[in-house]
Amino acid sequence: MAQTVVNEAEQLREQLNTGTKEVAEAHRFDEAKLERWLRANVEGFAGPLEVRQFKGGQSNPTYQLVTPKRKYVLRRKPPGHLLPSAHAVDREFRVISALHPTGFPVAKPYGLCTDESVIGTMFYVMEMVEGRILWDQTLPTYTPAERRPIYMAEVATLAALHNTDYRAVGLEDFGRTGNYVARQIDRWTKQYRASETERREPMEQLIAWLPKTCPEDSRVSVVHGDYRLDNMVMHPTEPRVIAVLDWELSTLGSPVADFTYFLMQWVNGPLSEIGDPTAHGLPTVDEVVAEYCRLTGRPGLPDLNWYFAYNLFRLAAILQGIVGRAREGTASSPQAATQEARIPPLLDVALTYAAKAGLR
């Protein structure tokens, strides 16, 4: 029964997030102004222009720009009241512009517009990468033999990101390089407080305990910040990542924190509900950790329980921000308000791992 419920929830999520729709009233803009900007700033652009809005996404409204010869993607800050430092589309544009020449799989960037008079908020334009976005992390329509290569390609792509020399690609000032996790705890605590709708005692415990117990990690890399299967485009037929999407939370930071967020699918996501992963052709957490360590030259990853508690805390704060945007009327997704129900269970699991890591 539990597996049936999970599959139904994932199928609904895929239906709600796949494809495009008419532009929502709250996210409309003057398309003629945009077309003039595209003609002046995007090499090779030729109209006429049709604008559609992608169904998916909770944060930055994302649009498909259709022309007779090619399709583009536009990412913008949402209109209305915004939390401090959120929706940094200019940072997204910068990181994909730095990574694209290296061959790392990102969409080709075409242009950034900081002039809010064009469509009302800052935005950037990139290529439309055609492939598969796999919304259901359990990959129910794939055979067991097909599932493992997809996940191992995801691991290899994240390892490649963390192995990229951020100084060599011009990102040495993309973020501060010390005390990343402590600063993230402070940031997400503030974001949570700014969107808080009620007091939750488990969150208060985590906010008090996490900053006092941060593990040390001497390595620094570009981190994605929201690395999961549905934030990338897979090759149409091969188990290969051809574009990593949604770089809003990227910065310089701890690769271990970034990698352990990816592991949340096994810890408290859909993969945690299916029983033995190997029976479904999926790698186990231990196998994924071993492969990541092999690719990044690490002897191992201690403190996993602490990182699991931290990532669940962070996810709860992100969801609270979505709830806050729903309250303000600026959320991209009509399902945003329903995210509040996910927060208490996340915090309960976070406390379980915090206890394993020493919380008393």
In a domain, 2, yes or no: no
Number of domains comprising the chain: 2
Q: Are residues 53 and 157 in the same domain?
A: no
Residues 110 and 165 in one domain: no
In this structure, the answer to whether residues 93 and 154 fall within a common structural domain is: no
The verdict on 118 and 149 lying in the same domain is no
Q: Pairing relation of β-strands 123-127 and 71-76?
A: antiparallel
- Residue 229 shares a structural domain with residue 319: yes
Cβ atoms < 10 Å from Cβ of 24: 13
Instruction: Looking at the structure, tell me whether residues 66 and 186 fall in a common domain.
Output: no
Q: Are residues 158 and 291 in the same domain?
A: yes
Judgement on whether residues 343 and 309 belong to the same structural domain of the protein: yes
pLDDT for the residue 125? 98
Q: Residue 200 domain-assigned? A: yes
Same-domain status, 94 and 181? no
Residue 106 lies in a domain: yes
Any bridge partners for residue 111, and if so which? 125
- Find the CATH number of the domain harbouring 210: 3.90.1200.10
Chosen domain end from 69, 99, 127: 127
Say how many Å lie between the first and final Cα of the chain, rounded. Answer: 35
Query: Do 45 and 157 lie in a common domain?
Result: no
CA distance 319 to 325: 10
The residue segments making up the domain with residue 195 are 144-356
For 163, residues 6+ apart whose C-beta sits below 8 A from its C-beta are 221, 295, 296
pLDDT of residue 263: 96
Shared-domain flag, residues 273 and 215 = yes
The one-digit pLDDT tens for each residue of the chain (360 residues) are 444 444 554 554 555 557 889 988 888 999 999 999 999 999 999 989 999 999 865 578 999 999 999 999 999 988 765 555 556 899 999 999 999 999 999 999 999 999 999 999 999 999 999 999 999 999 999 999 999 999 999 999 999 999 999 999 999 999 988 889 999 999 999 999 998 888 999 999 999 999 999 998 789 999 999 999 999 999 999 999 999 999 998 999 999 999 999 999 999 888 988 889 999 999 999 999 999 999 999 999 989 999 999 999 999 998 998 887 667 665 555 555 677 888 999 999 999 999 999 998
Domain identity same for 111 and 178? no
The closest alpha carbon to 24, from 70, 66, 76, belongs to 76
pLDDT of residue 329: 61
- Which of 92, 127, 162 lies at the terminal end of a domain, its last residue? 127
> Pick from 98, 127, 156: which residue ends a domain?
127
